[in-house]
Structure 1
Amino acid sequence: MDTTARFRMNRTTLLPVLVFAFCLIPLSAASAWLLLLLLVPAVVAAWVWRTGFDIDPGAITVRTLAGRRRVPWTELAGVRVGERADLWLVTTGGTEVRLPAVRARDLPAIGQASGGRIPVPTPPTDQ
């Protein structure tokens, strides 16, 4: 594994945000205070653009709108699948970090990008 694999939100999500911002323009032109409404689509666009995680040879780096957290491979105990098929990194210290923008169906791609460090469960076979 020589490169960094990036998992991000789908950029087409920015299209409705752009439409929403365009629809807010007439309303925000009514008053100087209503110009602040344009901050809402700007923050949502920044969230879509930034949220995700990177898998590199040294660690998994989870990025959110407010910051980032790097979990080295030596501190990774496993991956937990939540009730709504969301994925959580479980560290050796007992803390959990949510993996944004992916679900349990994305585990094969994550396992492949991790170079086998994250095992992918195989479905049971009928005998």
Structure 2
Amino acid sequence: MDTPARFRMNRTTLLAVFAFALCLTTLTAASPWFLLALVVPAVLTAWVVRTGFDIDGDAVTVRSLVGRRRVPWPEVAGVRVGERADLWLVTTRGTEVRLPAVRARDLPAIGRASEGRIPVPELPADQ
């Protein structure tokens, strides 16, 4: 796999962050101290843009707001589906890494991007 498959948060979320920042700017007319409140939408924007994970030929790289974790393919044991359909990458060491920005419905896309390294169970045929 030459280019990594990227799974990120939906960029439409930035519209809500922009609207929130716009509402906060009206508060700055009351006091210049409210400019500090604009740090919140800046952090939210960074979180939306940065959070996600990449799948390439060597590893799965999970990115959060402040860091990243790279799990090489030999250390990947599988994927666990959580109670709320969130996905967790299970390692051979028994640790788990949450896969942000995806749900169980995204498993087929993740399976294709991993080129079969992450197996996707087949759905039973309707009868």
Q: Indicate whether the TM-score tops 0.5.
A: yes
**Shift of residue 32, structure 1, vs aligned partner:** 2.6
C-alpha contact 1:13 1:48 (8 A) present in aligned 2: yes
> Identity of aligned pairs, percent?
78
Give the corresponding residue for 2:81. Answer: 81
Instruction: Please show how residues 31-50 of structure 1 align to structure 2 within 5 Å.
Output: 31-50=31-50
Count of aligned residue pairs for this structure pair:
127
**Shift of residue 5, structure 1, vs aligned partner:** 0.4
**Shift of residue 66, structure 1, vs aligned partner:** 1.4
Give the corresponding residue for 2:90. Answer: 90
Distance in 2 of aligned mates of 1:61 and 1:67: 10
Distance in 1 of aligned mates of 2:14 and 2:119: 32
Give the corresponding residue for 1:112. Answer: 112
Secondary structure of the equivalent of 2:17?
helix
Distance in 2 of aligned mates of 1:42 and 1:3: 29
Q: Write out per-residue CA displacement over residues 52-79 of structure 1, whole angstroms, 9 at most, x where no aligned residue.
A: 0000000000000010000000100110
Give the corresponding residue for 1:101. Answer: 101
| Stretches of structure 2 lacking an aligned partner (at least 5 in a row) | none
Distance in 1 of aligned mates of 2:36 and 2:88: 35
**1:26 matched to 2:26:** yes
TM-score for both structures, normalised by structure 1 = 0.96
Runs of 4+ in 1 over 4 A off after TM superposition: none
Q: Write out per-residue CA displacement over residues 17-39 of structure 1, whole angstroms, 9 at most, x where no aligned residue.
A: 00110111011232232211101
Distance in 1 of aligned mates of 2:126 and 2:45: 46
Please tell me the root mean square deviation across aligned C-alpha atoms, in Å: 1.1
Distance in 2 of aligned mates of 1:104 and 1:72: 22
**Shift of residue 123, structure 1, vs aligned partner:** 1.1
TM-score for both structures, normalised by structure 2 = 0.96
Give the corresponding residue for 2:4. Answer: 4
Distance in 2 of aligned mates of 1:61 and 1:5: 10
C-alpha contact 1:59 1:73 (8 A) present in aligned 2: yes
Distance in 2 of aligned mates of 1:120 and 1:104: 10
